[in-house]
Structure 1
Amino acid sequence: MNAFQHSRRMLRRSHVLLILLAAAGMATAHDISGNAALTSDYVWRGSTQSHGDAAAQAGFKVPTESGFYASAWGSSVEFAPDTHASSELDFTVGWGKQLSEDWALDANVLHYRYPSTTVDLNWTELNTTLTWKNNYWLSLAWSPEALGTTQDGLYSQLGARVPVKERLRLEAMAGYYTLQDAPGGGYAHGQVSAIWAIAAPLELRVSAHATDRHARDLFGDDFAGSRWEVAVQGAF
């Protein structure tokens, strides 16, 4: 077995470890947080995961004092009809801490799971995010089975959060997804969002998304390109 096959097998089996570590995290947790959203379109890395339709989403996170945490998140989805995918479940175990007054680091293993599908779409990814002053970040994510395939994928993102008023902030991010077998070697996308704090804990988020032509070649015009998204979200 070569190194690629070994890493792929280890990542495919890691969802079992994720569940076990999540249970361990719950046993020693000191706080639990959650989130929920209703969005007009579930857009992930520039492409719609709900075929432009509304999606309901919810999740929770269980941290520990040492910085380790476990989380679970779910959303309704709509992929190609032949897959019959209608839901996505994400399971994460990771570690996150403030490195100094200005810098913070988060590293995790994330398993994407799509129940009741006719094809195997499940895959696992390694992620890390470095944050500066809580408002600027660089994220990297790698998987040897990107998007549920057998191709290598490396995703990178730069983002910024800018407070405008007490109840209004802007967020902008630019990402590039390097994919081994994709037309052009990958695709670029960008996102700009305005988030208004309606009343705690509810927020209204309006986002504009855009991708380059390589994303349209990869996913099709119905899933990539330019689109708007409006969401009501809350954290508790």
Structure 2
Amino acid sequence: MKPTHIGTALAVGTLVMSAGAFQAAMAEDPHSISANIGVVSNYIWRGQTQTDNQPAVQGGLDYAHQSGFYAGTWLSNVDFGEGNETNYELDLYTGFGGSINDDFSYDLNLIYYAYPDGRDSDFSELGASATYKWLTAGIAYTFYGQADDAPGVANTEANYIQGDLYYHAALDFDLPYELGLNLHGGYYDFRYNDGGNDYGHWGASISREAGDFGTFSFNYDQIGRDTYDEDPKLWIGWNKEF
């Protein structure tokens, strides 16, 4: 799932989906299927709102194998502002994750972000990340994108762009009272517009599992470039896996 920045939330679409799917694969049954549902007061992805600062309902379905292979899909409503008729996002993903020892693990993934009722907005990424104890760092490479109307995009034969890079890192800590703290940041390096659209962002999340009631989080995110919305984003989230 792209955000689970309750998790995408603490993600951190990092793709918490990959971590969750890999953990599920560690069950005794070599095959496992899980589902998740969530509600957020603001769908934030890589520092930017995907719902025009409005709430979102999200959910997904995951398959995982004990070998580390996983695949799944994730859905959320979106709102990109006036003049854009896109109403929802559908992500399809697959990957492989594993661990070398108790302290070091890795994940490789392929994600397709689809906006079926939008115009030329779909894109695909290849991603890789590694986790050492409480530190996770990774990179995502856009190898396919439909961006006909993006400012500064060259009018290529197929009107596609590729080559964007997204770097991200996160720190995860256990706090007293069964709380979790996530500190995260990232930098988006776009291939087009001579760096005019590049930006960095950072944020923090505090979460707590509540048993059968799921996981609740309180989150802060902010972008560090004045060509975007620099206002701090404070939002809450809830997520439950089945």
Where on the TM-score scale, by shorter chain, does this alignment land: which range?
0.7 to 0.9
Q: Residue 139 in 1 paired to residue 151 in 2?
A: no
**Does the CA-based 8 Å contact 1:108-1:126 persist in structure 2?**
yes
Where does residue 35 of structure 2 map in the other structure? Answer: 34
What SS does the aligned partner of 2:90 have?
A: strand
What SS does the aligned partner of 1:31 have?
A: strand
Structure 1 residues 57 and 175: alpha-carbon distance in aligned structure 2, compared to 1, 3 A threshold: same
Structure 1 residues 137 and 153: alpha-carbon distance in aligned structure 2, compared to 1, 3 A threshold: same
Structure 1 residues 158 and 49: alpha-carbon distance in aligned structure 2, compared to 1, 3 A threshold: same
Where does residue 172 of structure 1 map in the other structure? Answer: 183
What SS does the aligned partner of 1:100 have?
A: coil
Structure 1 residues 29 and 60: alpha-carbon distance in aligned structure 2, compared to 1, 3 A threshold: farther
Where does residue 154 of structure 1 map in the other structure? Answer: 165
Structure 1 residues 202 and 191: alpha-carbon distance in aligned structure 2, compared to 1, 3 A threshold: same
Give the whole-Å Cα distance in 2 for the aligned partners of 1:98 and 1:166: 28
Letter in 2 for 1:205: S
Query: Residue 209 of structure 2 is aligned with which of 197, 202, 224?
Result: 197
Structure 1 residues 29 and 85: alpha-carbon distance in aligned structure 2, compared to 1, 3 A threshold: farther
**Does the CA-based 8 Å contact 2:120-2:146 persist in structure 1?**
no
Cα deviations by residue, 1:44-79 (Å, 9 ceiling, x for unpaired): 000000000000000121011222111111111001
- Length, aligned pairs only: 201
Give the whole-Å Cα distance in 2 for the aligned partners of 1:225 and 1:33: 36
**Does the CA-based 8 Å contact 2:216-2:239 persist in structure 1?**
yes
Q: Residue 79 in 1 paired to residue 104 in 2?
A: no
Cα deviations by residue, 1:111-149 (Å, 9 ceiling, x for unpaired): 0001112x111110001110112x320111001445846
Unmatched segments (≥5 aa) in structure 2: 1-28, 148-159
Give the whole-Å Cα distance in 2 for the aligned partners of 1:116 and 1:50: 15
Q: How does 1:1-236 map to 2 (within 5 A)?
A: 30-117=31-118, 119-133=119-133, 135-145=134-144, 148=147, 150-182=161-193, 183-184=195-196, 186-213=198-225, 216-217=226-227, 220-221=228-229, 225-236=231-242
**Does the CA-based 8 Å contact 2:204-2:220 persist in structure 1?**
yes
Structure with the higher fraction of residues in helix conformation: 1
Give the whole-Å Cα distance in 1 for the aligned partners of 2:162 and 2:66: 37
Structure 1 residues 172 and 178: alpha-carbon distance in aligned structure 2, compared to 1, 3 A threshold: same
Structure 1 residues 147 and 229: alpha-carbon distance in aligned structure 2, compared to 1, 3 A threshold: farther
Using structure 1 for the length normalisation, give the TM-score: 0.79
Structure 1 residues 74 and 29: alpha-carbon distance in aligned structure 2, compared to 1, 3 A threshold: farther
Give the whole-Å Cα distance in 1 for the aligned partners of 2:55 and 2:110: 28
Unmatched segments (≥5 aa) in structure 1: 1-27
- The Cα shift of 1:234 comes to 1.5
Q: CA RMSD in A?
A: 2.0
Using structure 2 for the length normalisation, give the TM-score: 0.77
What SS does the aligned partner of 1:200 have?
A: helix
Give the whole-Å Cα distance in 2 for the aligned partners of 1:140 and 1:229: 25
Question: More deviation in 37-46 or 162-171?
Answer: 162-171
